[in-house]
Amino acid sequence: MGADFSQPQRQSSIGILVMFFYTLQQYARALWPMIVIWIFKFDEVNKLYFFLGILAVFVSIGVISYLKYLNFTFFLDSENDEFIITEGVFNKTKTAIQLRKIQQVNINQSFIQKLVSVYELDVDTAGSNKKEGAIKAISHELALELKFRLLENEELKTTIGTETTSLEETEQKLFEAAHPFIKISFLSLLKVGITSNYGRSIALLVIFFSTIYENFQNFGDESKVYEEKVGSYIDKNLVLQTILTSIILLFVVVLVVNVIRTVFKYYDYKITRQKGSLLLSFGLLNTKSTIIKPEKVQITTVKRNYFQKKMGILELKIRQATSGEKEERKSIIEIPGCSEAERDSILRLLFHKIPEKGLMLQPNFRKLMFSIFLTIGLPLLGFMAVGYWLEPIIFEYSYVVPVFVVVIGLIQYFRFKNNRLFIHQNFIIKQSGAWDISNDIIEPSKIQAITTSQLFWHKKLDIGSVILHTAGGNIDFQLANYSIVKQQVNLWLYEIETSDSNWM
């Protein structure tokens, strides 16, 4: 029979060990300055008192871990439609989470939890910037069953209490979880690692070379060995070749690190259908599992660059309701390395159809001019000012200016060219990006508020800006045809007022 969550129950008994390690980590973070002092002054410390102190700390952590396990209970309250968690060592806390407000339930497994074969279940709502409830140690089967109970809001009244899920239904859920309809291959993860995060790679290159240059400068000023040995070792005629070789080698290293990070984070990425929802599970050392309900999805982003297009892959990002920008970044669900067919399957499940683009709005050319002024004009003015009034030696690097102007100019041009807002009866799609082209997709019924603005010198030109506020973030579009924007805003507001969408 399925699990009965109507009565308070504890975590797995092995959870005491998990609590011990987590509590030990908390103590280590709090006492790390004292630990460092003990390590460097170990010879001066009384060994007997030291080991007795260590033993006392471990014993106290063990007792606290046992009390945490003993006092932690959870159950489903069928009368009030709430998930109740009781926890605490000396001061007990009772947390009541309304089932209708549960936004997301994640099943995670850290390296420590993987060693003892238990899982962690996190419950999240849209009204807080932290997890409202976390169960640190339960079996995978129990975690799946509890997740289904928490997210099946429509069926809770008939499934909680004396009634239980049949064995056949439970087996069917486990069968669905074990048989994904989309599985991201290892080769696709390699492609994603190679073709993404160029900005991060360039930033690492700049930081690395600036640090190396500064260290060489300091070392060269203080030691003649640098000038005699290192200077004679490198042929001055090969300086440019050496620099280029170093850049290439370092870029390869950064790409390798990026590939390793991608593989570790998204290893064995599987997506399965669960009664109209998506169940995602992935991770090598830290395994994460989460359910996405289509009605709770706020913004879906399809992202792709030139290399990914040639390799036949793309990236999906799904944002649900959050309570702030910081939490928004953390809660973004990424699906890397999808093919076009897999993308269409996911979009059909989320929106019940493939989103269409419809009417296209494009920004006025003044947006391009203003962007060029900010990214090229102001830096050049600053360069000239520093050269004339502060450091004339800076003009020796004037050869970099044309390269800077061309590169930044091309980036701003392609950003302007790709900046579009597509309006369909059922969808709003914002396209943006210079190299990585992103398409942010939302449904008008998910909009919470709309902000329009128009500067007084833009009235004659009939251009203005609009910001669409959702619980998963904002979508803004600047310097579009203001008459069309106002007309569409009225339609969106009407749809917001008349929609009965249950996205919370």
Residue 324 sits in the same domain as residue 423: yes
Which amino acid would we find at residue 200?
R
Residue 52 sits in the same domain as residue 147: yes
Residue 199 sits in the same domain as residue 335: no
Number of Cβ within a 10 Å radius of residue 287: 20
Domain boundary among 395, 416, 437: 416
The predicted pLDDT at position 165 comes to: 45
The predicted pLDDT at position 290 comes to: 81
Domain boundary among 224, 248, 266: 266
CA-closest candidate to residue 321, choices 311, 308, 313, 332? 332
Higher pLDDT, 364 or 165: 364
Residue 43 sits in the same domain as residue 141: yes
Query: Furthest-apart CA pair in the chain: how many Å?
Result: 85
Question: For residue 98, with 0-12 CB atoms within 10 Å meaning exposed, 13-18 middle and 19 or more buried, which class applies?
Answer: middle
Q: Is the pLDDT of residue 466 over 60?
A: yes
Q: Is the pLDDT of residue 305 over 70?
A: yes
How far separated are the first and last CA of the chain, in Å rounded? 31
DSSP 3-state of 101: helix
Helix (H) or strand (E) holding 432: strand 428-432
Domain assignment of residue 7, yes or no? no
Residue 99 sits in the same domain as residue 209: no
Higher pLDDT, 471 or 227: 471
Domain assignment of residue 195, yes or no? yes
The span from the CA of 212 to the CA of 226, in Å, is: 14
Domain assignment of residue 5, yes or no? no
Residue 128 sits in the same domain as residue 253: no
Paired strand residues for 475: 468
DSSP string, 454-470: --GGGTTTTEEEEEEEE
CB 330 within 8 A of CB 129: no
Paired strand residues for 76: 83
Domain assignment of residue 278, yes or no? no
Number of Cβ within a 10 Å radius of residue 320: 22
Higher pLDDT, 504 or 68: 68
Paired strand residues for 292: 278
Domain boundary among 416, 446, 478: 416
DSSP 78: T
Question: For residue 204, with 0-12 CB atoms within 10 Å meaning exposed, 13-18 middle and 19 or more buried, which class applies?
Answer: middle
Q: Is the pLDDT of residue 2 over 80?
A: no
Residue 340 sits in the same domain as residue 479: yes
- Res. 208 pLDDT band, cuts 50 70 90: low
Section 71-100 average pLDDT? 87
Contacts 24+ apart (CB under 8 A), 95-100: 95/132, 95/133, 97/123, 97/125, 97/132, 97/133, 99/150, 99/153, 99/156, 100/153, 100/504
Mean pLDDT score of the chain: 80
The span from the CA of 363 to the CA of 459, in Å, is: 15
- For the record, the structure tokens of 93 come out as 């806390």
The span from the CA of 477 to the CA of 362, in Å, is: 9
Domain assignment of residue 9, yes or no? no
- Res. 158 pLDDT band, cuts 50 70 90: very low
Section 309-320 average pLDDT? 91
Paired strand residues for 98: 82
Residue 258 sits in the same domain as residue 349: no
**Lowest-pLDDT range of 27-31, 86-90, 122-126:** 27-31
Q: Is the pLDDT of residue 217 over 70?
A: no
Q: What is the pLDDT of residues 489-503, one digit of tens each?
A: 999 998 888 876 665
Residue 40 sits in the same domain as residue 139: yes
Number of Cβ within a 10 Å radius of residue 445: 15
Domain assignment of residue 471, yes or no? yes
DSSP 3-state of 440: strand
**Lowest-pLDDT range of 26-40, 128-142, 187-201, 202-216:** 202-216
Q: Is the pLDDT of residue 349 over 80?
A: yes
Residue 48 sits in the same domain as residue 119: yes
DSSP string, 198-226: HHHHHHHHHHHHHHHHHHHHHHHHH-HHI
Section 393-419 average pLDDT? 90
Which amino acid would we find at residue 415?
R
Range 38-48 burial, b when 16+ CB lie within 10 A, else e: eeeeeeeeeee
CB 181 within 8 A of CB 345: yes
Section 465-480 average pLDDT? 92
Domain assignment of residue 249, yes or no? yes
Our count of domains for the chain comes to 4
Residue 89 lies in domain: 15-166
- Res. 461 pLDDT band, cuts 50 70 90: very high
Domain assignment of residue 104, yes or no? yes
Q: What is the pLDDT of residues 315-339, one digit of tens each?
A: 999 998 765 555 555 568 899 989 9
Residue 342 sits in the same domain as residue 410: no
Paired strand residues for 104: 124
The span from the CA of 426 to the CA of 431, in Å, is: 17
Residue 324 sits in the same domain as residue 370: no
